[in-house]
Amino acid sequence: MSRESISTFDIFKIGVGPSSSHTLGPWRAGRLFLRDFYSPDVERVQVDLYGSLAKTGRGHGTDIAVQLGLMDWDPKTCPVDEINPTIASLKSDRVMLLAGKHHISFNPETDIVFHMDETLPFHPNGIKYTFWLKNSEVRSRTYYSVGGGFVVTEDEELGENRCVLLPYPIQHAADIVRYAELKELTIPDMVRANERCWRPKEETDAGLDEIWATMRECIYRGCHSEGVLPGGLNVTRRAKKLNADLMSGRSYKGFDQWVENMRYSSPNFQQTLRWISIFALAVNEENAAFGRVVTAPTNGAAGVIPAVMMYGHTFLGFTHEQLREFILVASEIGCLFKKGATISAAMGGCMAEIGVSSAMAAAGHAYMLGCDTARILMAAEIAMEHHLGLTCDPVGGLVQVPCIERNTMGAMKAITAANIALASDPTLAKISLDDVIVTMWETALDMNSRYKETSEGGLALRIPVIVPEC
């Protein structure tokens, strides 16, 4: 079990699709390698990918991510529209602007090595960066992308947050219950107090607002973009057409008018369900198209939480401040799963992605509905209980099928779980959130590796031939 201190902004990171473990993690590892080992004398670089990163790396954009990382592009701020042309010219010119500072020759075909039959013992997502310098010195380091964009080495957890002593250290859900009873704190109270160890309240609020702004921009963009997703599977984007169908010709300009239209259309139950699905589809179509998304807690599951938040914002009138608190509650639940189990599909299959995001969303939604702490934790438990054993079997190694639709299911389960918890007596529950986290981890250990982001089992076998795009 991990004992590091994890911030809300470690769980929710603004980045680029399609995968937090296979895109964002290797990208961040490349920048960390630059930070610690870059020299103007570097003449050559090689990247070695192992395990799941090798097996599904091409479909997940790992090769693209490592090149952007080595050029020191920032995943939070880089212009996503320039990614494809930059990678295309790098491929044709075979020249890389290393660290954004000096040019070296780089051939992605040979300098990125996919070790398809080798998995490093420490973790299935291993990546080694190596520099060769003019004086023949060799600098090398191996990193592990352990889910949600988190990166570690075998010796240490990388990040500035790990040594911070928090006023409310939380390892288990039982700790939350204890602080709630002894100190009369809500979950947002606890998380806010902990976050103050890293930055002032105003900065935390600004960061929370930026997360919600990125999520809603992603939803809006996804609902107004069409075409076929990259990767060779020829998946057609659906969110735009579904949005147009429900809008029934009503005109609008920009996000706010769009939301007003939705509100005043008085949707029935079936239409509301469709809207929630559209929100989730929109985010994950953007994610699959290398768009800007927020890990929540991963990229593959990036649509669940925005869909539930957007539902609350649009149809239940959740305020700006309430949406901040939604994020705080959800992040603490994500931390519990990261510490007690995993948020890496390569370790735990899709229950580690969609399952965890659904539990996070269920807790956030339950809080918004007015649940007390026991019911909030109950909502998270219910949501995960019905994701246990969910396999990760992405067709063609792409984060598209079943991933995009699966986000709609995670959102629906989250809303259902929150409403069941709202109407229930948590003292009668037979399984606690801590029980289900332990069970999830034990289930992860029992799962065959074919169902852990390797594309060697399940649905991935039904459509075996993918023609990668140039």
Residues that bind ligand SF4 (CB under 6 A): 300-301, 345, 350, 353-354, 392, 394, 399, 402-403, 406, 453
Which stretches of 158-268 are DSSP H helices?
A: 173-183, 187-195, 201-222, 239-247, 254-264
Q: What phi-psi label fits residue 458: left (phi over 0), alpha (psi between -120 and 50 degrees) or beta?
A: left
The residue type of 395 is V
Shortest gap between Cβ of 251 and ligand SF4 (angstroms)? 35
Supply the minimum distance, in Å, between the C-beta of residue 73 and ligand SF4: 23
Cα–Cα dist 380/384, whole Å? 6
**Burial status of residue 177 (CB atoms within 10 A of its CB: 0-12, 13-18, 19 or more):** middle
Alpha-helical (H) ranges within 265-303 are 269-288
Dihedral sign computed on CA atoms, order 424, 426, 430, 431 = positive
| Cβ-based nearer residue to ligand SF4, 10 or 393 | 393
Distance in Å, CB of 345 to ligand SF4, minimum: 3
Q: Residue 83: which of 36, 45, 147, 27 has the closest Cα?
A: 27
**Position of minimal CB gap to ligand SF4:** 300
Instruction: Tell me the closest approach of the beta carbon of residue 26 to ligand SF4, in angstroms.
Output: 15
Q: Which is nearer to ligand SF4, 34 or 301 (CB)?
A: 301
Q: Which of 207, 306 has the CB closer to ligand SF4? A: 306
**Least distance to ligand SF4, CB of residue 434, Å:** 23
Rounded to a whole number of angstroms, the minimum distance from the CB of residue 206 to ligand SF4 is: 30
How many Å apart are CA 12 and CA 30, to the nearest integer? 20
> Which CB, 330 or 392, lies closer to ligand SF4?
392
Residue nearer to ligand SF4 on the CB measure, 31 or 413: 413
The owner of tokens 């997502």 is 125
Distances (CA, A) of 322 to 206, 267, 415: 14, 23, 16
| Residue number, 148 or 426, with CB nearest to ligand SF4 | 148
Least spacing, CB of residue 68 vs ligand SF4, in Å:
20
In the numeric block, which tokens belong to residue 10? 């470690």
Query: Which is closer to ligand SF4, CB of 306 or CB of 394?
Result: 394
CA–CA distance from 144 to each of 53, 61, 130, 318 (Å)?
10, 16, 15, 38
